[in-house]
Amino acid sequence: MSDARWFEVEADIAAAISHFEKSVALYDKGGFDDPGINGYQAEMALMHALQSAHTSLEAGLVRIMEILGEERPVGESWHSDLIRRAGSTLPGKRPAILGPAITRAANETRRFRHRATHNYDSFEVQETSGTIEAAKALAHGLAAEIAAFKAAIDPGG
């Protein structure tokens, strides 16, 4: 029987996917060049959607580690350590939670969140194309990767 905490993991992952999908839609909608409030609104909406998406992804990964009894990363680099560990096999303990492509995409959205959080005033939407591609990859591939990981560690769940 599967651990009931997967309910929260799946909710976090669903939220991440929804935010990633909506961030792509916001990017496609555009409006960033408007010098007034509409341009500001477009930029802030995109930044917040991407940040919310990555934060939801992190929450789901931390919950998975808690289910497994695995210590969560700590310290100043815990955000990057979390993604690195999720993308790694822990020999004798568990397979990688995320495959290489999704790990790379998650690293890109993590880097974006860091830049956006610390550099609101220098945000340049034209520099986000790599982040938008990563958001697309996460929106389309994250659910399957989490489901495959869950099936690998809890085949009866």
Q: What is the mean pLDDT of the chain?
A: 92
152 close to 95: Cβ distance less than 8 angstroms: yes
Distance CA 77, CA 9 (A): 22
What domains appear along the chain, each with residue ranges and CATH number? 6-153 (1.20.120)
Classified as helix, coil or strand, 96 is coil
More confident residue, 122 or 78: 78
DSSP 154: -
CA distances from 60 to 12, 14, 69, 83 (A): 5, 9, 14, 11
Range scoring the smallest mean pLDDT among 17-21, 93-97, 119-123? 119-123
